Amino acid sequence: MDRTVTLRSARFRADREADWQLLESLITQAERRGLQRMDFASARDLAASYRRATTSLAIAREISLDRALLDYLEALTARAYLCVYAPQERLGGLVHRFFTASAPQALRRSWVFILAGFLCMALGGLTGYLLYLENPSWYFVFLPPEMAGGRTPDATTAYLRSVIYSTDPDTTGLGAFATFLFSHNTRIAIFVFGLGVFVCLPAIALTFYNGLGLGAMLALHVDRGLGWDLGGWLSIHGVTELSAICIACGGGLQLGAAILFPGPRARRDALQHAGRDAVKLALVAAIMLVAAAILEGFFRQIVQDMTIRYAVGWGVGLLWLTWALLAGRSRA
């Protein structure tokens, strides 16, 4: 008399319904409390029950025409999939791994690109220096007036010296830190990295241009016999900050190179692959920029002696280099 049980799909559903409802409750538990805090038995059941549900879904798609069942199973397995394949990493371990392994390894892997970044900057500096010596009016081309801050070829040597050894800055402490963090160089670093995607050219051009301004300013001070003093003034934060720009440029170049020379991969895949290291370079550059802002905001005004400025600047630079070269090497 009871015709209903003869329906294969109805029997299929009746047999498995309890298991699906168990899975549903496990999902709610996992979503509310997190997988880490579930006890062992429930976590094991969740994984096993999820795999049974995927099988059920695959079978139901073949044998059942019950829309309600299909919709339910689709939603249930999708929800369970999102729970089972959730990221399982802890924040502390992540930060630790970044500093002790993945960042320095990425730096070493992309040494060619970083070297290219440093070369761009150095070539720009050399060009700026030579062009200034040939004709000082180039200075105004490379350094816009708001950046030069009065330090033009028309300024007196005494004024230039006073800027380098100024003991009375208009901002100090936190305010200075914030101002320097969002200064010209940070913006350059962001652009240099982001624009690298457009086949490298903007990254190279911007780094070169940054070098030009640097070279011209150095030439002006050398001309007035203040070369070593400017070097000290720049070193204290510049070693870190300019290296950050070069590393950001290296990351940008890596992205651009992936688009120019994708090799056997599709361009999209090559970009994704290059992105893995490039992002780490960008993060390193960001950390270095913050460090540079601290040095610039707090230490540049406190340390007035030229040799100590050199020592601090290049000492910090050496620390970065040691970290990049030695950290995260396996013991083998």
Partner 1 sequence: MKLFRRKKPRPSSDTILSPEGVPLTLKVAGLGVRIAAQLTDLLLTLAAAGATLILLAVLNLTEPHTLFAIGAMLFFLTRVPYYVITELLWNGQTLGKRLMKIKVVSHDGRTLGTHAIVLRNLMKEAEIFLPGTLVLSLDAASPILSLTALAWAIMAFLIPLLNPWRQRLGDLLAGTHVIHLPQPVLLKDLARETIPIETDGTRITFLSHQLDHYGAFELQTLETLLRADTGKMTPTAYDNHRKTLATIIEKIRRKIGYADPVDPADHPAFLQAFYTAQRAHLEQRQLFGDRRADKHHAAAETSA
Question: Which residues are at the interface with partner 1 (CB under 8 A)?
Answer: 2-4, 6-10, 13-14, 17, 20-21, 24, 51, 54-55, 57-58, 62-69, 71-72, 74-79, 81-83, 85-89, 91, 94, 170-171, 173-179, 181-182, 190, 193-194, 268, 271-272, 275-276, 279, 282-283
* Nearest Cα residue to 310 out of 228, 213, 220: 228
As measured in angstroms, the least distance from the Cβ of 20 to partner 1 is 7
As measured in angstroms, the least distance from the Cβ of 87 to partner 1 is 5
The letter for the amino acid at 121 is M
As measured in angstroms, the least distance from the Cβ of 141 to partner 1 is 16
As measured in angstroms, the least distance from the Cβ of 135 to partner 1 is 26
**In sequence order, what DSSP letters do the residues of 172-216 get, joined into one string?**
-HHHHHHHHHTSHHHHHHHHHHHGGGTTTHHHHHHHHHHHHHHHH
Nearer to partner 1, 10 or 123 (CB): 10
Spatial separation of the C-alpha atoms in residues 320 and 241, rounded to whole Å: 12
Nearer to partner 1, 35 or 321 (CB): 35
Compute CA 92 distance to the chain's CA centroid, rounded to the nearest angstrom: 18
The letter for the amino acid at 5 is V
**Two tokens, residue 16:** 């498995």
- Contact of 190 with 249, CB cutoff 8 Å: no
Task: Name the DSSP letter for residue 149.
Answer: T
As measured in angstroms, the least distance from the Cβ of 9 to partner 1 is 6
Nearer to partner 1, 56 or 243 (CB): 56
As measured in angstroms, the least distance from the Cβ of 250 to partner 1 is 16
Cβ neighbours of 157 (radius 10 Å): 12
Nearer to partner 1, 224 or 273 (CB): 273
* Nearest Cα residue to 151 out of 164, 160, 142: 160
Radius of gyration of the chain (CA): 30
Nearer to partner 1, 210 or 235 (CB): 210
* Nearest Cα residue to 252 out of 298, 311, 206: 206
Nearer to partner 1, 60 or 226 (CB): 60
Nearer to partner 1, 168 or 170 (CB): 170
As measured in angstroms, the least distance from the Cβ of 194 to partner 1 is 4
- Contact of 216 with 143, CB cutoff 8 Å: yes
